[in-house]
Every structure is written in structure tokens, then in C-alpha cells.
Structure 1
């Protein structure tokens, strides 16, 4: 796991806390504090600065709040929670009635720009450091390139055109630039990832485990190409990961989501979390999902569970019989809770809970009472897994021999079978029906609650698997169950540009309909 002890110091550096001063006695470099004048001098400084670039991934602007909405705005889950105004920021997204002050959209924008801003500092300063191992210097640049691409990939998918900042702004006016066309942003993402692939090592060990590798950059590039519709490029990059990374899938799907298997054999890149810091904070180093997604009021998480991100009934019912992913992903009525010495006796998931009238909750990120703390789970979030590379390859090449074998590996594992051994019962064939539909469905269940479904629906818009037809049908279905949610329009293919950002930057235009 990435060593986090340097994050705080590097965070201060990334804020650019430097101002000019005309007083001569202030021209001397301060020796008792960190500034640009005495930092970015050594290899340790470079590593600290890169570590700070990772840290925003763990916070509200990314995997500790904002990206949870990618399933809520899709056909995976509803808000849940305690009802009323609980989770109003997610209710606004679920109902596609999103004000420009929405907390989730604002934090996603802000967190992403903080993160990529730190990457820009690394890319500007680290090449100038002379007291550094050239291999470490090269690696630091590759990590910053990978992370900048990751932040921009989230931004462009969520907001469309966004400002393209590639160097630290020297002044406020330098930062207040207009939005660049999405095509230009994607071009930069590709350039960063291609550079990262050449700069990054293939693996790490010890305290560096969890840093971005060549294979993380290659896998992300495959996903970027697929999003852009470049199926040839997507297939090439996914194939490179499958054949060259040395990665393999776990025999059991659930092994991807165990603390003891973090950064394991199927993982290409994960968000690194630790616990034990006594924190009620989604902007720190522990993952909040254990508590926020835990069954509400059931006492199986430290603070009784908040019950957000509730699986929708048709999603749950859509699992094929025998699919082992269901028990890993879903708490369903009658499921037995872990034994609890403080609450003896066998306890099971109720048929109905606050915020979940059908008795379902998200189980994938459950770790139980890991300690007495809230919002402080140690479970990492996989961002890229080998299984997704197989699904990208399958979607990119279609129902060829290669494509069928790729999707069937994922399917076999889901039924508890050896994924390299053909299965007459579960393998798809060229005559199995619409292959694209099958791949998209497999993504839905393989990657459920990994915060990607809305992005999938967006990139598929214009097809039967796109956001507008899928969510219109979903809204109508939920209303038959007495669950009210809004129907998206074409404007909801992107989020609103946060009003606070437009107030600060008069050159930012707003997306249509907001």
C-alpha cells in the first residue's frame, strides 16, 4: 500500500502557498517551513509530491462520495437512507432535477481539479530535480501522467467540455480559462496515458504496492478508447494487459473485495484505504462505504448502518440462477449476518428496512465492525480489474472466437466454474443472440457498485443500452412499485457546471438545461 505518511506535507505544497514580497528581509528562504523555495529538491520531495496527487482519490470528490452517484443515477440503485431530506444531494441526481449547487457535482469538479493540479506541479517541478535516481524521476512523471488522465477522464465523462489546465497557473487570471472541447480533453488523456505507459514500471513491492503501473495505464487507455468508440484501440490495449501483465482472475469473484487480497492478482489499480484513525470524515484515509451502505439500523457496522445506495428490485432479480456474484454484491431478505458477541443469536436481513422497502442493501463493501470508528473502513476500491479487460476486449471485437472466449471467462467465474474451461451450460455462442447486449449486461453485473454504470449508459446513448431509453423504462418500472424518480432528458447526459466555479471563473459557460 502506498505510504501515506507524507501526504499532509505534500498537500500543503500542492496548494501553491507562495506570494511575492518586496521586503528584503523576507527574501531569505525560510528554513523552518515547507515552501517552493526549499522543496522539490530531492528524491523524497518528488515522491511526497506524487503521493499527494493520489490522495484526492480517497476523498469526497472521488471514491468517498461523488462517484457513488454513478450507480444511483443509473439502473443499479436508489438513494435509500433515512427518507425525507436524507441524502438530498443524491435525490437530486436520482430524479434528474439537479441544481447548479448540487454537492456531488461540485465536489467531483473540485476534487478532480485539486488532484490534477497536483499532477501539474509534479510534471513541472520533478524534471528539474537533480538529486534523484533517474528511474524514480521517470516513475514519478508516469504516475502524475496516469493520475492526471484519470481525473480528466472523470471530468470529461461527467461534464463534457472542461477547462484544460496542463501547467500550474501563475495567477488567478491564468486559471480562469474557458472550457475546452471534449475532443481536445480526450486527446490529452490519450497523450498522458501513452506517456505513462512508457514511464511506469510493471509492478511494485513493499510500501510502493498500489502505485500506478504500466498495466494500470494500459488498462485505463483501453477504457478511454472504448468510451471514445475506438474499438480497435480498445481491443489492442485490453489484449496487451491480458497477455502481458501476468495478471489472472481470482477463482472466486468475492476474493476481489477482501482486505487480505488488496492489490492482488486480478487488480490493475485500486484506491488505497486504511482504517484506525478514529475519523468521522470522508476526506481522509478510510472508506466510508462500510457504514453508508450498511443495512440501516441493523447494528452490523460500527454506527448501525445508514442504508444508502439501495439495490433496485429488477437489478437484483436480473441475476441468473447460480450467479455467485449476487451473494457477494447484495444483502437480500433472509441473509444471515455475521456473528456478533455483543448481540448473540442468529440475525438475518429483514424483508423491509428504512429506505429499502424490498429489503435489499449493497453488500460488496461490507467489512463489519472492523473497529469502533465510523467512516473508517480499510477496504480498497478496485478501479481497474482484469475481468473488465476481458469485457472491454469482448465488446471491442464482437462475437468472434476471441470475443466469445473473453466474455465466457467472466461468465464461467461468475457461476463458480474454472474460467478457462468451456461450459456448455453457461458459455455464450455466436447464435446466443445480441452479443453487444450480452456484454453490456455482463458489465452491469460484474462491475455493480464499482461506480461506473452511469458512465456506461452515457457512452452507449443512441443505442437501446443508452441512458435515455434505459432510464425512461427504469423510471416507469419503479413507479409501478411505488418508487418515484425522475426521467432524464438529453440535458442529463452531463452534469451542471457548479455555480461556485462559475462565480469564481466568469469564462465558464453552463451546460444546456441548467
Structure 2
């Protein structure tokens, strides 16, 4: 795999400021010698610029901090950690007592805008590079369109109306624009993904493995349409992926989360991570969840002993059906053997930071080197199973090979270790009550800790009622947890952004 793995592309080009690094990671080029005047001259410049937009995915503004909160704000997990002020930014999300200075809200906003402005620079500058293979140029433009759409999709779902930039700001003053209506932002996302579908290749190999493909664009477009409530177009694009991408489900659910299977048969798009270069830095190229999510006080595997964040909620754990193989892949439970040096405590309540003894297991790879925040395991942004569930929700409990029943049942059969394409006793049927709820439940357990649940509950109008239900359950266990109101359907606009841009307005209730 490439992008983050073989090229650092440490390129920051915003408002004419560029900071670069060489093809191999952290070989920094002098910043006073590279500007947007003498850059964007060669094919390699274009590729580096695209890589710079990809690089934000690996950092705190995306998958190395901010997006972890999407499960904490939902019914999957709670903060964990060492208690007190440890992880206060997540506790604020957990309790729906979110100040405008919340770190997660701030990081998500800034990370998305850095990434999309880098994509804007590619779309502005790369068409004028003459000495460039036309096929590579087309790919670079498609990647930038895909990435801009991805970042804006996160922004509009998290904050509602947001400033819409389709070209880089010409100067500092041009940054200070007002928020654009969410509907218009979605139109731009749809256009970008449609254009990306036409520009991107169906697959890559060798050094280019891991780049966005046309099937990544199609799958994300299906998800966008479903989020907007446009089920016919969601179904159309989901079927495009299912029928034509050549992708298929792994026979075993856990195979999705192994280093040796990265960018594999079920993957449509992943964040590319590599170990050995991070140290104590979540804005680099290794995934820190290996350390942060591992059971707290678990010994010397991984190197820091585990911090115990994002711990599974007890009702979420109890909701697994008997025989669901996803549970053992996703969660540490009391009595589980912990690799090498230690084990998860055998009794409930004995795991520090986790009063019920549960921890997230999905991203655990153990000790990979002496740097503790440093896992090579990629994070899937979009998998084929997600697309099957998008189709099921979009078309409902319809029959036939392209129907919603077969789509959801493929996912369910795999979850119970059954042949994916053969009818089974675990199948849902046309008489299954509340089919949409059944699909959402399947998404909960299929995509747990893949940072989608808050978005799912919001788009289906279930967030407030579901979290109130969970809060009532937790009170029976002696746990107090805040309950969201309608204002919590969006995050606050960061106070630092309001201070810098007088054209911005705050979301209601903050």
C-alpha cells in the first residue's frame, strides 16, 4: 500500500504556504525553497499534492482522534480512560454537555478543512501541468474530487451548514465566508463523487494500492444519497458496486481487521497506516487506537499497557445474538486471554477504567515496536458489507438476488459463520417486523467501532429516543449519563472559528 505508507507527502499548501517532505517519510525539504509558484510543475508534484490531502485522514482531525467520538456520542461506547479529567473531551460528548471549545469538535472541523483545501489546490493547479501523463492527471483529479467529497460529507453531517469552498481562498480575507446551506453542500458532494467515479480507475496494484477507486466513489455516493433520504439513488449506486466492482465478502468477519488483508477483497477504501514512525504523535502515519483502546493496565502489550478508551457500553454488549462471531472480534470480555504478557481481568469490574470489564478489541494488534501509539492496521472507511446494508435499507424487505433481504442476509450469514450465499435459519424474511430497525441493528454490530453509529442514529431520527433509552438503562446500573436533545443533532461550531470569521454563526443551543 502507498500514499501514507510509502510516501509522507508532508505537504501543506494553504493560502500559498507550502511545507513539504520528500518521497520517503520525514525527509523535509526546505520550506523557503518550495512555493505554489515553483511547485505544480511536474507529475510528481501533482502526486505529492494529492498525497497531502490523503494525509489528513491519518491524523487527529479524522481517524486518530476526532471520529472516535462518533461511537461515544452514540450507544456503542463510553469514554473510559483513567477517569476524572482523563479524556474530558470525550466525556463532554458522552454527556452531551459540549462546549464550543471541545477538542474533538475543533479537530474534526480543522482536519476536514485542511484536507479539502489541499484537494481544492489539486483541482485548481494540476490541470495546468503540461508535462504529465494524461491518465495520471485524470486520476489525481478524481482522487481530489473523492477526498473533497469525503471531508465535506463528514463536515455537513457533523455541523450542518458549513462554508463551501470549491477553489482555494486567494487570500486570508477570502477564508472568512459564511456558512452554506447543507442542501447545497450535498449537491457539491454528489457532483464530486459522480465526477470522481468517471475519473478514477477500478483498481490499483503495487505502489498505488490503497488509492481511491471508482468503486470507493460509487459506494460513498450510495451512502450520501441514503443520508439525504434519496433511497432510489442510494440503491442504484449500491447495486453498481455490488454487481460490478468485483468485491466480495470475506468468509470470516475478522479477516477484515488483519494487517495481512489490508486493501483486500471486501475493502472499498481504507485509511492507510504504517507503524514505526509515530512515537507520541497522533498526527503522523501510525494508528494510535492500538494503544488507546487496549484494556487499561493490561501489562506491556502494547508497549504503553493500554489506555482503555472507547469502552463498550454494557447494553451494546448484551445485544449480541448468541453465536454472532463478530462479538469475539470486536470486544474484549472478562476472561479473554490477552496475548503474551497478561490477560483481561476474569471478573466484571476488575478492568481499570472499564467498570463492566469490556474493551474494544477490533483494532488491537499488540506490541509492534517500542513506539506505543503506532499500529500498522488500516481503518476501513467503506466496506462491501456496508454497501449491502445500504442497499437493504434503501429497498426494504424485497426478494430476489438484488433485493434487500438477500443483501442483509449475506451479512448476517457471515456473522454467524454460515455460507454467505446459502439460505439459513438466521435469515430475515419479508415478514420480519420493523425491517428498517433490523437493518440499523445489523449496522450497529457489523460496523461497531468503525465510527458510523452517531451518523446512523441522526439520519434516521432515532438519536434522541435511543440515547434516552440507553440512559434510563444505565441509571438502573447506577451510571448517570447525559441525554441529547434536538440541538445535539449537530456539533458546535468551534469558538476559535467564530472568533476568526465574523461571517460564521453558531448552531442553535450552543
| TM-score with structure 2 setting the length | 0.95
Residue 248 of structure 2 corresponds to which residue in structure 1?
A: 248
What is the DSSP-based 3-state SS (H/G/I as helix, E as strand, rest coil) of the residue aligned with 1:188? helix
Unpaired runs of 5+ residues, structure 2, are: 19-29
Q: Report the equivalent of 1:193.
A: 193
> 1:211-249 deviations in whole A, cap 9, x for unaligned?
000000000000000000000000000000000000000
Aligned pairs for 1:27-66 within 5 A: 33-66=33-66
- 1:432 CA displacement: 2.2
SS in 2 for 1:296: coil
Equivalent residue for 1:411? 412
Counterparts in 2 of 1:4 and 1:70: CA distance versus 1, 3 Å: closer
* Secondary structure of 2:430 counterpart: coil
With over 3 angstroms needed to count, the CA separation of the structure-2 counterparts of 1:501 and 1:192, relative to structure 1, is: same
CA contact (8 A) 1:7 1:52 kept: no
Report whether the alignment pairs 1:489 with 2:488. no
Instruction: Flag the 1:123–1:113 CA change in 2: closer, same or farther, 3 A.
Output: same
Separation (CA, whole Å) in 2 of partners of 1:63 and 1:347: 26
Gaps of at least 5 residues in structure 1 are 19-29
**1:94–1:485 contact (8 Å) kept in structure 2:** yes
Partner of 2:102: 102
The 5 Å alignment of 1:403-482 reads 403-423=404-424, 425-461=425-461, 466-482=462-478
Distance 1:339 1:280 in 2: 23
Distance in 1 between residues matched to 2:280 and 2:501, nearest whole Å: 32
Say whether the 8 Å CA contact 1:275–1:377 is kept in structure 2: yes
Check whether the contact 1:329–1:448 (CA below 8 A) recurs between aligned residues: yes
C-alpha deviation, 1:198, in angstroms: 0.1
What does 1:130-149 align with in structure 2 at a 5 Å threshold? 130-149=130-149
* 1:455–1:374 CA distance, 2 compared to 1 (3 A): same
Distance 1:323 1:131, change over 3 A: same
Corresponding residue to 1:351 among 331, 348, 368: 348
How far apart are 1:354 and its partner, in Å? 1.8
Q: State how many pairs are aligned.
A: 494
1:369 maps to what in 2? Answer: 367
C-alpha distance 419-6 of structure 1, shift in aligned 2 (>3 A): closer
SS at match of 1:366: coil
Partner deviation per Cα, 1:169-212 (whole Å, 9 max, x = no partner): 11122110000000000000000000000000000011111000
What residue number does 1:27 align with? Answer: none
- Matched with 2:304 is 303
Q: Deviations 1:20-60 (Å, cap 9, x if unpaired)?
A: xxxxxxxxxx9982111211011111000000010000000
Distance 1:5 1:109 in 2: 25
The 1:82/1:507 distance shift into structure 2, 3 A limit, reads same
Q: In structure 2, how many angstroms separate the alpha carbons of the residues matched to 1:159 and 1:138?
A: 31
- Residue 512 of structure 1 corresponds to 508
Q: CA RMSD in A?
A: 1.5
